[in-house]
Amino acid sequence: MTFTPNTANSWQIGYQAALNRVRSQLTHAPENFPIRLAKKTSNLFRDRAATQANGLDVSSFSSVFEVDPVNHTAEVGGMTTYEDLVAATLPYGLMPLCVPQLRTITLGGAVTGLGIESASFRNGTPHESVLEMDILTGTGDVITVSSHENDPHRDLFFTFPNSYGSLGYALRLKIELEPTKPFVHITHLRFESATALTVAIKELSASAIFNESPIHFLDGTVFSPTEQYLTVGTMVSALPAGKNTSDYTGMSIYYRSIQSLAEDYLTIHDYLWRWDTDWFWCSRAFGAQHRIVRSLWPKSRLRSDVYWKIIAINRKLKCAEKLDTLKRKPPREPIVQDIEIPVDRLPQFLDFFHSRIGIEPIWLCPLQQRDPGVRWPLYEFDPDRLYVNVGFWSTVPLTNGERPEQGVKNREIEHEVTKMDGRKSLYSTAFYNKDEFWSIYGGLDYEQIKKKYDPQGRFLGLYEKVVEQQ
């Protein structure tokens, strides 16, 4: 079923009917199998066990129900992709406060799994601009939760981020939007040391001003210990005379432009999806950055969800592993992670990373909690501190007979991040033991909320999902 945006709440009738259907699906699902979302896309890197599960059909919750251009809010189905969400809001000159880079990340997925992007230094992460949500709980109820102090379910509102669907599924979210301008002027600033880069991240994030213009977006790319960039973005209403926008959806590659251009202009649409075309730089693993291959690759297929499909086939057939064995190459450990550390630790973390892991490029994104007065128990930051997200997505060769499934390098990263008072995002593999995991990810709060909203354990627990990969 699809709902037509902006037809004076007409969506609510269809929405109520869809709620009844999904509640009934959950109530009638056999209790001996876990519940899962049956949806077409995913941006979860870890493998799921091939166990039998009850797949909930949530396709009725995958569109934008309403955009309110006066109050700058939107009512959105929980399984709506950011691609569709942005397409619905941009015509009003509005966008979500944090738009994750991959087109098929859904609003519900980003809220429960903590999305991040270059507006995060001023707007925090997607859950921080949610006004209210309808959540399907393990009891088959759909409850509306908000941060309002009289809301009896505000405990679930605050525990939901980083719960990865283990406390319930967000079916409708009312979110804040912010005004956009048609173009983004970007400037790439080069730094030859991580210390200089860190000083600049602190200054630019605190002032939110660059060359007397407001900074709307800030992220960074590290190509080597002596070649690292901060990209400052400012929304502008018009292009200066003689300037044109660049296009990185065809032969030109965005991340390469960072090294060769001091400044650039993109449409706001192309800015938001600048990383998706090449999945940051990861498309090179599929040959999509080779000039001849790229000239033959349909432009419409230069997208992260296409690369996901290639990865799925590779995982199934183990092509890369078999090729390595044939060539007598050592096995490789996948390291696909995002971590957050306090900004002052960045040089130390990058030193460790260059010497012990050696993946390049690396993505950086400063972030700060939007409202210092609230607490998000499953992913707690020091609300007064600036953090930096560090993203790295590749594989590394193993030595000494180590096997990828041992996660030797991933464990080393986990250890280092914890030592630096940081946090690791949970969309990929994790190796923590139970005690360590719960000491980092709000164990006491989680246990109480899990018992209250999913007393029969219809949804897999967070640890089982994330570490045991059930």
Ligand X SMILES: Cc1cc2nc3c(=O)[nH]c(=O)nc-3n(C[C@H](O)[C@H](O)[C@H](O)COP(=O)(O)OP(=O)(O)OC[C@H]3O[C@@H](n4cnc5c(N)ncnc54)[C@H](O)[C@@H]3O)c2cc1C
Interface with ligand X, residue 453, by CB under 6 A: no
Interface with ligand X, residue 112, by CB under 6 A: yes
Give the count of beta carbons closer than 10 Å to the beta carbon of residue 159.
23
Interface with ligand X, residue 108, by CB under 6 A: yes
Interface with ligand X, residue 289, by CB under 6 A: no
Nearer to ligand X, 109 or 361 (CB): 109
249 to 288: interface string for ligand X, x by CB under 6 A = ----------------------------------------
Among 18, 22, 74, 110, binds ligand X (CB under 6 A): 110
Nearer to ligand X, 43 or 198 (CB): 43
Residue in the block written with tokens 């955009």: 67
CA angle 52, 53, 54 (to 5 degrees): 140
Contacts 24+ apart (CB under 8 A), 83-86: 83/273, 86/269, 86/272
Name the pairing type of β-strands 263-267 and 183-191.
antiparallel
146 to 175: interface string for ligand X, x by CB under 6 A = ------------------xx---xx-----
Nearer to ligand X, 113 or 361 (CB): 113
H/E element holding 317? helix 304-317
Interface with ligand X, residue 314, by CB under 6 A: no
Nearer to ligand X, 249 or 428 (CB): 428
Give the count of beta carbons closer than 10 Å to the beta carbon of residue 267.
16
Give the count of beta carbons closer than 10 Å to the beta carbon of residue 31.
10
Closest approach, Cβ 279 to ligand X, in A, equals 7
Asked if 362 and 350 count as a contact pair (C-beta separation under 8 A), the reply is: yes
Q: What are phi and psi of 337, to 5 degrees?
A: -145, 155
Interface with ligand X, residue 233, by CB under 6 A: no
Q: Edge to edge, what strands does the sheet with 227-236 contain?
A: 263-267, 183-191, 227-236, 217-224, 362-367, 387-397, 332-342, 423-424
CA separation for the pair 211, 204 (Å, rounded):
11
Query: Which residues, numbered 382-441, are part of the site for ligand X (CB under 6 A)?
Result: 391, 393, 427-428
H/E element holding 224? strand 217-224
Among 63, 80, 101, 159, binds ligand X (CB under 6 A): 101
Nearer to ligand X, 42 or 146 (CB): 42
CA separation for the pair 460, 53 (Å, rounded):
10
Give the count of beta carbons closer than 10 Å to the beta carbon of residue 342.
16
Which residues are within 8 A (CB) of 67 and not within 5 positions of it... i.e. 6 or more apart?
A: 5, 6, 73, 74, 88, 89, 92, 94, 177
Please confirm whether the linkage preceding 91 is cis (ω < 30° from 0). no
Among 5, 34, 109, 361, binds ligand X (CB under 6 A): 109
Nearer to ligand X, 239 or 286 (CB): 286
Tell me, what DSSP letter sits at residue 345?
G
Query: Which residues, numbered 28-67, are part of the site for ligand X (CB under 6 A)?
Result: 37, 39, 41-45
Q: Segment near ligand X (CB under 6 A), from 97-105, 246-254, 432-440, 447-455?
A: 97-105
Number of Cα atoms under 13 Å in the Cβ half of residue 225: 11
332 to 361: interface string for ligand X, x by CB under 6 A = ----x-------------------------
Closest approach, Cβ 130 to ligand X, in A, equals 11
CA separation for the pair 307, 104 (Å, rounded):
12
H/E element holding 218? strand 217-224
Closest approach, Cβ 401 to ligand X, in A, equals 28
Interface with ligand X, residue 364, by CB under 6 A: no
Query: How many residues in the shown chain lie near ligand X by CB under 6 A?
Result: 31
72 to 91: interface string for ligand X, x by CB under 6 A = ------xx------------
Q: Segment near ligand X (CB under 6 A), from 104-112, 243-251, 343-351, 377-385?
A: 104-112
Q: What is the contact surface with ligand X in residues (CB under 6 A)?
A: 37, 39, 41-45, 78-79, 100-102, 105-106, 108-110, 112-113, 115-116, 164-165, 169-170, 336, 391, 393, 427-428, 465
